[in-house]
Every structure is written in C-alpha cells, then in structure tokens.
Amino acid sequence: MKVTAAVLDELGAEFSLRPLELADPAPGEVLVEIVGVGLCHTDLAVQHGHLPFPFPAVVGHEGSGVVRAVGAGVTKVVPGDSVALTFNSCGACSECLAGSPAYCARFMEVNFGGVGGDGTARLHDGTTDVGSNFFGQSSFATHALAHEANVVKVPGGVPLELVGPLGCGVQTGAGAVLNALDCPEGSSLLVTGGGSVGLSAVMAGRVRKLSTIIVVEPVAARRDLALTLGATHVIDPAAGDVAEQVRAIIPEGVKFAVDTTAVAPVLAAVLASLAQQGEFGMVGVPSDPTAALSVGLLEMQARGLRFRGIVEGDSNPDVFIPYLVELFKNGEFPLDRLITTMSFSQINEAVAVQARGDAVKIVLTHG
C-alpha cells in the first residue's frame, strides 16, 4: 500500500516527507494506522550516525494507532484495536522466555537490521529498498508494520496519541526506578537530565513514594516542571559542582541515581554523589559509541557501589505499559504534562524545537 513517510536519505540529512510502498503484513506482522508518534533521541541518533541503521531510512519507534490488518498467526490483536508500539524482541531466546525481552539476545538484529523477519525490506521507494522495521515498526509514517511481539493493546479512556512515548522513553525512565533499580519507598534518588526519560523517572519516584528526588537539569523551565511532577529538589549544573550541591541536600549522598545523559563529566558527578552502597543506573545513549566509563576500582569496592546499564527500563511491555496507562488514568502519572503535539508535516521543525529545550516530548500527529 502507499504510505507517506519521513525519510532520512543519508547521514545528517533532514527528514523528507514522500510516498513509499509498504508491504502487506507477513505472518506475525500487524499493520497499524499511526495516530501519533513520539520524537525520541534514539531516532536522531540514527540521523547523526550514533546508532547503526541502513540509509535511506524510516525511523520512528514511539508509535500509537489503530490496527488495520494482521498477518497469519496473529492472535494478540485484531483490526480496530488501539495499540501502542514498542521495541521488538525475538520471543525465543532465554531472556525473552524469562520475561526480560529488553535484553533479547537478538535485540540489535530485530530492532536495527532494517529489514523484516524474512530478511526483506518492508518499505520501498520505487525499486529502492528503504531501511525499515526500526524498533520493529518504523512509525514515522502514516502506517507502519509492527510485530505481534511489539504491539500492546491500549485500554479505553486515554487519548491514543499520548501513549506512543510509553513504548520507549517513558517506560525507560519509569522502569529504571520501578523495575531495574526497584527503589524502595522512602529512599533517595538523583536524576541527571530533565527530558522525558528523566521526568518519567521523577514521576515514578513519586509513585514509589521516595523521600528525596533530586533533578540535575540546565534548563530552568524543565527544573520548574520537575518540581511540579514530584522532584523535591532541583540543581542547576551551572551553579557549581554537582556532587557538592547534592551533598548539601543529603550529606551522605543518594542511594540511587538514574543518568539519562551518557556524558562522561556527568557520570563522574553521579558517582561522586552516591552514598555508601549506592546504585547507579545508566539509560542514556552516548553520542560516541566507543565511549567508556572511567571509575576507580578500589573506590567501587570500598564504597560498595553498583553500576548497571538499563535497556527500556527492564520492561516487559505487555505488563508495564498497561500499568503506566492505569497510573495515568488514576492521576498518578501525568504523562500529558510532558507532551507537546505538532503536525507530522512539521517533523524537521519539531526536531529543532526539542533540541532547543522548548518542549520536553513532542508527539507528531496526523490529520
């Protein structure tokens, strides 16, 4: 079928909207008419060459919409269902079978390979194959082909265009606190970065009833927003040494930290801010794929520190996304406070707006 998609023709190019041909759903695939799709740092990481993906390319991985057709064997959803799209997983490796699809042994292949499960491109520009199946969806388009594994049925009572970011950025931040670090009630949390991932961690911290939630963020408006979403303290990194500012608030240091920046000086500040036996989770994607963490081994041992990388908030989306939707419906997780909607046709303008910090999370909508 003919669809309109935002295409990246080459490394560093702007998005170009044009018609492409989308394949029919193969066995296990789900055709979704996209209602809204979040603009995520990971999409832009492909644009700038920080993540591998074949060009020309259609990215987009925080889609939501309505199922229009299903391939053979699909039983999870039917045409007419409202769904959120999330990351893809193989469903057969030991991690998937153990309920940890975010650590699928084939994660890179099934999310960044640029082709469908049968090894062929799902999008074409005339006779040219277009990199597709990004995060199992490539939802920067009017329609996308997803997989039974990465569609999640969304209950009624929530604006459908809002739920797309649950599929990546929001579940990453919230899941870091609720799943990966499993911060206990009354504990302390440091969040570096006040974008959608960091603020989702803040909202999760409030859900978990943490006693101290500190956000480090250079943009004043985002610091102010963090305070309304559950942060107890905010820090401007330009105001002085971050670790010193943290310890002025909580002298022993924080028990838990979530970093969304993957910037070396920030990581060093986080380590210096941790309490004895503190735990540090990193969810940010480094701009340099070869970047390394430098840490004193004796310090890590003597202080009992723990470091862990976190993918997609350690989430099982079939369980976690409906949980976040229910929290939103109950007023406990105000997802809508993060979101600014813009027309899909304004995608390049949206990239600039988000880069300036004028919006926390932009959702591109059709219509």
Extents of the domains making up the chain? 2-168+314-365, 173-309
Nearest to 85 by CA among 110, 67, 58: 67
Q: What percent of the chain has pLDDT over 90?
A: 89
Which pLDDT score, from 0 to 100, does residue 204 have? 98
Residue 216, pLDDT > 90, answer yes
Q: Say whether pLDDT at 289 is over 90.
A: no
Distances (CA, A) of 13 to 44, 132, 363: 11, 17, 21
| Residue 169 banded pLDDT, cuts 50, 70, 90 | very high
Residue 287 in this model has a pLDDT that exceeds 80: no
Q: Measure the CA–CA gap between 101 and 338, rounded to whole angstroms.
A: 26
What pLDDT does 203 receive? Answer: 98
Average pLDDT estimate for 59-70? 97
Q: Domain 2-168+314-365 has what CATH class?
A: alpha beta
Q: Is the pLDDT of residue 367 over 80?
A: no
What H or E segment, with its residue span, contains residue 206? helix 196-207
**pLDDT band at residue 350 using 50, 70 and 90 as cut-offs:** very high
Q: What is the chain's percent helix, strand, coil content, to nearest 5?
A: 35, 25, 40
Say yes or no to pLDDT of 294 above 90.
no
Architecture of domain 173-309: 3-Layer(aba) Sandwich (3.40)
Taking residues 22-46, what's their average pLDDT? 95
Compute the half-sphere exposure of residue 263: CA atoms within 13 Å on the CB side of its CA: 7
To the nearest 10 degrees (0 to 180), the angle between helices 264-273 and 242-249 is 30
pLDDT above 80: residue 232? yes
Do domains 2-168+314-365 and 173-309 share one topology? The answer is no
Distance of CA 296 to the CA centre of its chain: 30
Residue type for position 185: E
Residue ranges of E strands in the chain: 2-8, 15-22, 29-38, 63-70, 82-85, 123-125, 128-130, 143-147, 151-153, 188-192, 212-216, 233-235, 254-259, 274-282, 306-309, 339-343, 361-365
pLDDT surpasses 90 at 156: no
Q: Is 261 in a helix, a strand, or coil?
A: coil
Q: What's residue 28's pLDDT?
A: 96
Q: What is the pLDDT of residue 17?
A: 97
Residue 211 above 80 pLDDT? yes
Cis peptide before 52 (omega within 30 of 0): no
**205: exposed, middle or buried (C-beta count within 10 Å: 0-12, 13-18, 19+)?**
buried
Q: Enter the tokens of residue 120.
A: 């062929």
pLDDT of residue 293: 83
Q: What is the dihedral of CA 167, 173, 175, 181, to 10 degrees?
A: 160
Q: What is the pLDDT of residue 286?
A: 81
Cβ atoms of 367 and 33 within 8 Å: the answer is no
Rg of the chain on CA atoms, in Å: 20
> Model confidence at 296, in pLDDT bands (50, 70, 90)?
confident
- 216-225 CB burial, b ≥16 within 10 A, e <16: bbeeeebbeb
